[in-house]
Chain A
């Protein structure tokens, strides 16, 4: 019996997260579902999660690269809140037992210094409101079977966010142009991939402006201290217990995360 309304879909995702058991994509039973349907489910899912005592510490922007947009068949990014319960420290461990089918991505996080709310936010407004940028790895995860996602599915599923680790070093924009920050990702000391900040929509600060404008349409502001995950700088990498991932960013420093059972 397919589920047909947003509250039931939110509940199904909530249960999938709790039980770590993936579910069939919503678009299997209703291919007409679109972006707005996805955000309606996302809002209800976030309500359920916050009711358990979790908190919103910022937002992630996903689908920021052309290859990912082509794969999902869209020409714009998506977003979702990121949760206090999923923050890991630099040098910490992440347990596979909390995840379903995780992959690792290195990206730049922007830390908000001032409130920022759209519409009408320019990239220069974003630059003024951002306190600085820092090194980060995101663990993406899907609560849908075999990552078989379409746009409405991933939007509903918190933009496929699983967890993340963030460096404590916040570097002000006077010292760094995020577009040209180089990054090398190693796994157990071996080079896996490289990238630069411009992989995120051409400019991570442009991603912040885009997010502020889209959140503004929903009546939401970016608040001081909020983190904005600006998008992966390379293709996502599978991870296994025992792996040590290190994303080293020029001008920002490294962030390291160990994967355990």
Chain B
């Protein structure tokens, strides 16, 4: 087993100094997924109260591109949040990229190795449009799957719109539009995340069960990027719209 503590320190150093590092697997060839998650848990223990979770690699296209057939997850801590109207300070990040998300806010706790999307929706208080700011600590987003898991699934920051109750909304079909500096750059529907965003959350719950964890009431879950992520610079503005959930605007300075 590689030195998990040393690997976590390298990633924390990259984040706090806002400077990219080479992927860990370059000099740690035996880095596997389990080790990646062990590094991620160590990072989590140093980040204060847990706010929720995020999913990554949820589109079939991306899974095929990197040669895997399941998503990954990362954690969200209080300092990942961009509060309503708060701009993104680009200089605090290495290589920030924005993508539209459907965000779940849990109304009840949910745990178990056999949870399905039906139970996820029953335990959900609200769903909202979100923008995730990805920020890989690795140069140019070059990494293996264990690398990106160790790097907390490239979690950077996130912003969430106003949640609405999920009842009566077919999240598979809702239209998703990403605008960058006033122009449409990508579209999708909710199905872009694992066929249904609630199915992605169900996968998360089943995965957390392996370590005896689950979702708590109030937890926030980013259910997976729905389009390709757009790189942002100071002065940019990004708008994500999810039909039936609303719009969210993020300024970058």
Q: Which residues of A contact B (CB under 8 A)?
A: 177, 179-184, 191, 194-199, 202, 233, 248-251
Contact of A194 among B170, B188, B244 (CB under 8 A): B188
B187 located at the interface, meaning its Cβ lies under 8 Å from any Cβ of chain A in the complex:
yes
Q: Is the CB of B241 within 8 A of A180?
A: yes
Task: Give the chain B neighbours of A177 by CB distance below 8 A.
Answer: 243
Q: Is the CB of B173 within 8 A of A180?
A: no
Q: Show 23 residue pairs from A and B whose CB-CB distance is below 8 angstroms, ordered by the A residue.
A: A181-B175, A181-B243, A182-B174, A182-B190, A182-B243, A183-B173, A184-B191, A191-B60, A191-B195, A194-B176, A194-B189, A194-B191, A194-B192, A195-B187, A196-B187, A196-B188, A197-B187, A198-B184, A199-B184, A202-B183, A248-B173, A250-B170, A250-B175
Please indicate which of the listed interface residues A194, A195, A197 has the most CB atoms of chain B within 10 Å of its own CB: A194
Q: How far is the CA of A198 from the CA of B172 in the complex (A)?
A: 17
A191 and B191 contact, Cβ closer than 8 Å, known pairs A196-B243, A202-B184, A250-B170: yes
Task: Give the chain A neighbours of B189 by CB distance below 8 A.
Answer: 182-184, 194-196, 250
Q: How far is the CA of A181 from the CA of B176 in the complex (A)?
A: 8
Q: How far is the CA of A55 from the CA of B95 in the complex (A)?
A: 54
- Cβ distance B237 to chain A, nearest Cβ, rounded Å: 16
List 7 A-B pairs, minimum CB-CB distance, nearest first: A182-B189, A182-B175, A196-B175, A196-B187, A250-B173, A180-B243, A194-B189
- Cβ distance B238 to chain A, nearest Cβ, rounded Å: 15
Please classify how large the interface on chain B is, using the bins under 10, 10 to 19, 20 to 34, 35 or more. 20 to 34
Q: With contacts defined as CB atoms under 8 Å apart, how many contacts are there between chain A and chain B in the complex?
A: 66
Please indicate which of the listed interface residues B175, B177, B184, B243 has the most CB atoms of chain A within 10 Å of its own CB: B175
User: Binding site of A, secondary structure by majority: helix, strand, loop or mixed?
Assistant: mixed
Q: How far is the CA of A199 from the CA of B192 in the complex (A)?
A: 15
Q: Would you give the 0/1 interface string for B81-115, flagging 1 where the beta carbon is closer than 8 Å to chain A?
A: 00000000000000000000000000000000000
Please indicate which of the listed interface residues B176, B189, B195 has the most CB atoms of chain A within 10 Å of its own CB: B189
With contacts A177-B243, A194-B191 known, what are 18 further pairs, Cβ within 8 A? A182-B173, A182-B175, A182-B176, A184-B189, A191-B191, A194-B190, A195-B187, A195-B188, A195-B189, A196-B176, A196-B187, A196-B189, A198-B175, A198-B177, A249-B173, A250-B174, A250-B244, A251-B243
